[in-house]
Structure 1
């Protein structure tokens, strides 16, 4: 017989999920404001960050996978970044059609400038929060993300 109401943990997680949705929206809005003067948006900044943290140039599909985003959305933003001279495309020796996305010097400078703006902002936002609480929250979010990414989510629709 299927459950007809949330467990206490399910209720708490539902509340957390709603807060995370709101937080995500607020973070994107704050990020947009923070980097607007650099000609960036939060989405562009996020993709530049994925390029910077990758060990080597990657195709759009891999960047999208790393970000947990739709390839088409990442492709559109990468095309905008390329148009603005922040990234370039290089031939992929392993795949003729999936070009590699490479950060330009202009792109690196834009990313570094964004990170300089983010430093005092994130430190101020973290002020008064305990490292223990932040680490605990990070573990919970990472566990949930891992379950969803690996397909471990339950199917209780029966």
Structure 2
């Protein structure tokens, strides 16, 4: 019999999210490889494909909970492959807008098509009501974490712990 450490509920949920994220990344890479994508590329194309207007790299990073630098690297690769294009931003001279191209929409459609059967199996196993509850809880968790990140005490604690004395 293995010893299990009883974790507080929030910590157990965080660890479960980390584990799910790792598996989602692995599954995503397998699903979208035939479309010439990676999970990271799919994530950025999805943010652009479902947005009503082009976004800046910072907009994508905020929406997806990623770093601006990481999104910039992915966007540059997507642009090199013709999946996105940069357009002028009327609100900011230096922060270009990133627009999904027809090639990007086609790649996103292939990725979504590949994920469709897996999505259906997950829906059948978990059920729409439980998935809706999970989505609501994750949304609330994201909002609360965002509030914590903006809290002055968090910023002070983060800068104090990153000091190397």
Q: Provide the TM-score with structure 1 as the length reference.
A: 0.86
Equivalent pairs counted in the alignment come to 149
Which consecutive segments of 4 or more residues in structure 1 shift more than 6 A? 152-157
Where do residues 1-158 of structure 1 align in structure 2 (5 Å cutoff)?
A: 11-151=8-148
Deviation at 1:152, TM superposition (A): 7.4
Post-superposition Cα deviations, 1:17-39, rounded to whole Å, max 9, x if no partner, equal 11111000000100000000111
Contact 1:147 1:153 survives alignment (8 Å): no
Between 147-156 and 46-55, report the one with greater CA deviation.
147-156
| Distance in structure 2 (CA, Å) of the matches to 1:37 and 1:90 | 28
Alpha-carbon distance between aligned partners in 2 of 1:74 and 1:135, rounded to the nearest angstrom: 28
Q: What is the deviation of 1:121?
A: 1.1
User: Which has a greater percent of helix?
Assistant: 2
Structure 2, unpaired ranges of 5+ = 1-5, 158-165
Question: In terms of mean alpha carbon deviation, does 75-84 or 87-96 score higher?
Answer: 87-96
Q: TM-score, normalised by structure 2?
A: 0.83
Provide the C-alpha distance between the structure 1 equivalents of 2:102 and 2:133, rounded to a whole number of angstroms.
37
The whole-number CA distance in structure 2 between the counterparts of 1:86 and 1:130 is 34
Shift of 1:153: 8.7
Q: Structure 1 pair 90/34, CA: closer, same or farther in 2 (3 Å)? A: same
**SS of alignment partner, residue 101 of structure 1:** strand
